[in-house]
Structure formats: C-alpha cells, structure tokens
Amino acid sequence: MSESKGGDLRVILADPLLPDGIETLRAAPGLAVEDHTESDREALRSALEGASALIVRSRTKVTPDLIESADRLRVVGRAGVGVDNIDIPAATRRGIAVLNAPAANTQSTAELAFALLLAAARRITEADASIRAGEWRRKELRGIQLSGKTLGVIGLGRIGAEVVWRARAFGMRVVAHDPFVSADRASDLGVELASLDELLPACHAITLHVPLSEENRGFIGRKELAAMRQGSILVNAARGGLVDEAALAEALGSGHLGAAGLDVFETEPLPADSPLRDAPQLVFSPHLGASTYEAQRQVSRQIAISVRDALVDGDYSAALNAPFEAEDRDGAGPIMDLGYRLGRLLAGLEDAPPSRIDVRYGGPRDGVLGPLAASVAVGFLERRVDPPLNVVNALSIAAERGLEIVRVRTQAVGDYTNYVELSAASGRARGRGRSRGGRGMVVGGAHNGSRIETRVGRVG
C-alpha cells in the first residue's frame, strides 16, 4: 500500500510496526510511509526501488540481493536489538546506515530474568500445575526466599545492571563476573567482582547476561554446573547456546541443581526430543524477553525516531555502521586500523579491567582523535559486549561499563608520521594525562606507509 507523495522520501515497512512508530514517521516533514508487511519477496524488492529507508523486524532477511535492488536506500532500521538478519557489510559497502533499538527492551528482559528466578525459587509453575490437578501440596512445594541470598550476575551490560538493581531491592548480595567492567563501575552498582571460578560455588543463584559467540558456546557446561553450589538456581534469559542443555538436564535430574529458569534455547522452538522437557524443577518461557507491550512500543518509537533523524536531519549518530564526518575520517583509515590493533593488544595484556584509557596521538592530522578513540574502544571491547559493536557505539558502551577513554593530542614522536600511544590504569582518574590511580599497561605504535611498529610497557 503506497502513501507516497511526489518528492517525499519513502519509508518501507517490511514487518509490522506499532502505531506509535508509524505516527512518528508520518508526522515528519517529507516522509511517506508505505506498508508492505503483506508483500512477498518480489513485491518488496520492487517497492524498494527509489525508497530511502527500510524498516524490518526479525522476519525479513536483508540480504545482499535485496540491498542491490534498493538503488536509493539510505537507512535500514531494525525494530529490535539483533541485526543478524541484516547483511551489514553489504549495507556498509553501499553506504547504507544500519540502525537498531538497543535499549528499548532492557527493562522487560531484566524483569523476565527476575521473574524466572522468583518462579524457580518458589516453585510457582509446579504449584500451579498441582492445584489444577486437584492437589494441595503445601509441604512438598516449599521453596527458598531470595532475601539474604547471594546472586551471581555474569555480564554487567544494560540488562545485567538492571537485574542487579532488582536483586538489591530484594535484599540480595550480588557478586558479578565481567572481565571488561571496572572496579569503579562495580562499586557504582554495589556489586562485588569475582572470577568465574570464585563466583560459581559462592552463589545461591546465577543469571547469565552475556552475548553468544563461537568462543563461549556452552559457556556453562558440565564442569561449571558441577562447580555451582548444591541446590542453586541457574537462569538464562540472554542467549540460547550459552548453556549445555544436556548437562543442565543431568544436573537437575541428579538434584545437584535445585532449579533453573530458561527463556532462550539452542534450537527454537525447543525440539520435542530435548532432554530439557523431562528435567525436573525447570521453568520455561518461549523467548519472551522483549515480549511486552511497553518494550514493543519503545522499540517502534526508538527506531522511528532514529530513521526520521537520519533522513530528515542527516543525524546518523544512532547507526551501527555510520562513518564519522568526512573531514575527520577522510584518509584516516590506517590510523584507525592502528588504534584498533593497539586496543586489541591492550585488552590481551591487561590483568584487570581499567577504569581509564588515555589515547595519545602525535601527528599532523586534526580531527582524527574521535575516530581513533572509537577504533581503540572497538579493539579493546570486541567480543566482550552484547550489543553490536563498532566505531559508532563503542565509546558509549565503554562509558556504560565505567571505562573512560580520554583523547590527548601530543607532539609527534621521532621520525614517525603518525604515532599512537595507549595507557591504561585502574582507579579514578584525576588531572590530565595518565591516571594516577594504580598500575596499568602502556602500548604504543606507529604507522609509516605499510609498516606498523609497536611497543609494550607498564606504568605506575
């Protein structure tokens, strides 16, 4: 259905958007919204000819061939968090900004994780089923109270932090594991940081809030389950695949684990032959983390605002792959690549998460520190955070984790054309230059033509 007027920028809805988002787009000057939620693939491809924006949920796959058919597309908006249905490299190659709504479902997902914890602790689903069966099993269905217990939170991103606040309101002690959260951030949240080996046996309940990658698939396996406290509870409302499901079923069946709550699964829908289906003391929900009206309303409004701002105002600050201003990024690729490499190097050398990284640049380019600092953040945080990470959002994610990245323009070093130095330290940063709050690492590098040179040292 087309509502385009001559000269308007066309926004194509491939998947449903709530009225709040649609009205936000329609109220913007020069935008025309077209509903193609019932269109087949070929009709959608035709509709994208001459369109400026495409908004999708998880159903529509934005593949290279679909992108190629969109000759004037400037924006792809994902009404949600995950963007695995969008070919971001293909979009980037075409200069198409990819937007999502990363914070819109934070509250709802945190609430569901805590609901699973409560239901598992108090055996709510089992109690409900017993009453429906005509039983009254008060003595057998005795649970545990959360007040005074220790909750282990693995991953202190947006959702993990919200779970922390709820746990503290219930009178729980919170221990957290997140190698890329500083002691200052943990202190602000009122949690104690611990290694995974320390956390597993110390907690009455553990909840997961980390991204899934090939490196951490089966993150909680037989070894980790065996290390957990006898009778403890495991909750996963983060990503399917983080937990070895067969091992979890065994741990519940043996009585080593007291209960578990799962919203996500390695294969969805959950297969009929999954060992989890016969496991005792297990609370299920079918991936409902973002399934509240409020979350979906916020998702719709947030993506509509981001698309509107990009098309009407030229504001691409919310884009996952947005470039910096032309005058800052033009020719800065080698320097940004150097910053990324040094950030990765620094991440591998740090034995404790720093609270501050100073990014020093010595060279002739003005305006390069912004892209450089973002590239350093990407290298340092890569594969450690849940939201998609790139130069657009890396600095804000670093700030959320209590990591301050300071930009310092300095004199050129020796004969190097472009010299970059990173210094990291823990503790609150004061004054200029390096933090005075503890020991840390320093890495440096120079880019001269095709050659990169690096050095490593320790400060403090």
Among residues 123, 177, 185, 239, which one is catalytic?
Answer: 239
Residues 237 and 362 in one domain: no
The yes-or-no answer on residue 325 being catalytic is no
Among residues 3, 49, 268, 325, which one is catalytic?
Answer: 268
pLDDT tens per residue, range 396-417: 789 888 999 999 998 877 667 7
Residues 18 and 30 in one domain: yes
Sign, CA dihedral 369-374-378-380, equals: positive
CA 118 to CA 143: how far, in whole Å? 10
- The pLDDT value recorded for residue 390 is 66
Residues 262 and 119 in one domain: yes
In this structure, what token pair is assigned to residue 156?
A: 């202190």
- The pLDDT value recorded for residue 349 is 84
Residues 135 and 274 in one domain: yes
pLDDT tens per residue, range 261-285: 999 999 999 999 999 999 999 999 9
The answer for residues whose C-beta is within 8 angstroms of residue 348's C-beta and 6 or more apart is none
Residues 95 and 121 in one domain: no
Residues 206 and 336 in one domain: no
Residues 202 and 166 in one domain: yes
SS3 of residue 443 by DSSP: strand
The yes-or-no answer on residue 209 being catalytic is no
Q: Residues 113, 352, 406, 99: what is their CA dihedral angle, to the nearest 10 degrees?
A: -30
In this structure, what token pair is assigned to residue 191?
A: 């949690």
- 319 within domain boundaries: no
Domains: count for the chain = 3
- 421 within domain boundaries: yes
Residues 92 and 118 in one domain: no
Find the CATH number of the domain harbouring 363.
3.30.1330.90
- The pLDDT value recorded for residue 452 is 57
Task: Please provide the DSSP assignment of 38-96 as one string.
Answer: T--HHHHHHHTTT-SEEEE-SSS-B-HHHHHT-TT--EEEESSS--TTB-HHHHHHTT-
The yes-or-no answer on residue 162 being catalytic is no
Domain containing residue 150: 106-284
- 318 within domain boundaries: no
Side-chain half-sphere of 132: how many Cα atoms within 13 Å? 6
Lookup result for tokens 């809805």: 13
Residues 268 and 150 in one domain: yes
Neighbours of 368 (CB within 10 A): 25
Lookup result for tokens 């009205």: 23
- The pLDDT value recorded for residue 329 is 52
- The pLDDT value recorded for residue 438 is 43
Q: How far is CA 239 from the centre of its chain?
A: 11
Residues 43 and 94 in one domain: yes
Find the CATH number of the domain harbouring 248.
3.40.50.720
- 414 within domain boundaries: yes
Q: pTM for the full model?
A: 0.72
Residues 218 and 77 in one domain: no
Q: Which of 284, 247, 4 is nearest to 119 (CA)?
A: 284
Residues 124 and 255 in one domain: yes
Residues of the chain whose pLDDT is less than 70? 1-7, 317, 322-331, 386-390, 392, 414-415, 427-441, 446-460
